[in-house]
């Protein structure tokens, strides 16, 4: 049985790139373009084991999504941050982010952070 990962990013290229890399690593990937859409996906897909979310997004940003997921005891959330944005990283961790992936990242970087949360 493959493991479902929800990728949340308003940048389609990044979203599809992560989807592609994780799919090749054996994951089932579902995607959403903002936090609000991500919550809808979670309602429909209780099998999601991990969320990878950007921070800056329209409608509902990554911090708000993180809070809402924690409130409902949802799956662990990995946050994508930009290098040098240490305030964002601290805030994300304080809100319960399971880990942080700093952009730009390579496939190896992504899989290294994702692996401990899945059985890859």
In the complex, the smallest distance separating the C-beta of residue 109 from other proteins, rounded to whole angstroms, is: 7
**Residue 27 neighbours by CB distance under 10 Å:** 21
Q: How far is it, in rounded angstroms, from Cα 72 to Cα 99?
A: 19
Among 1, 86, 108, 119, binds other proteins (CB under 8 A): 108
Among 46, 84, 86, 104, binds other proteins (CB under 8 A): 104
Q: Cβ closer to other proteins: 46 or 104?
A: 104
Q: How far is it, in rounded angstroms, from Cα 66 to Cα 109?
A: 21
Neighbouring C-alpha atoms within 13 Å toward the C-beta of 108: 0
**How many residues at the interface with other proteins, by CB under 8 A?**
12
Q: Cβ closer to other proteins: 45 or 83?
A: 83
Neighbouring C-alpha atoms within 13 Å toward the C-beta of 92: 26
Q: Cβ closer to other proteins: 23 or 64?
A: 23
* Contact map string, positions 11 to 50, toward other proteins, x by CB under 8 A: --x--xx--xx--x--------------------------
Q: Which residues contact 31 (CB under 8 A, 6 or more apart)?
A: 6, 7, 8, 9, 15, 16, 19, 41
Contact residues: other proteins, CB under 8 A? 13, 16-17, 20-21, 24, 104-109
């Amino acid at each position: 049985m493959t493991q479902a990962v929800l990728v949340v990013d308003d940048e389609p290229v990044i979203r599809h790139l992560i989807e592609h890399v994780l799919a090749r690593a054996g994951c089932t990937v579902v995607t959403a373009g903002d936090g609000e859409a991500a919550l809808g996906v979670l309602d429909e897909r209780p099998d999601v084991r991990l969320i990878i979310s950007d921070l800056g997004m329209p409608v509902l940003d990554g911090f708000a999504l993180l809070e809402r997921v924690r409130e409902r005891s949802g799956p662990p959330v990995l946050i994508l941050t930009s290098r040098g944005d240490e305030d964002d990283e601290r805030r994300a961790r304080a809100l319960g982010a399971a880990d942080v992936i700093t952009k730009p990242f390579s496939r190896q970087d992504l899989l290294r952070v994702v692996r401990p949360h899945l059985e890859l």
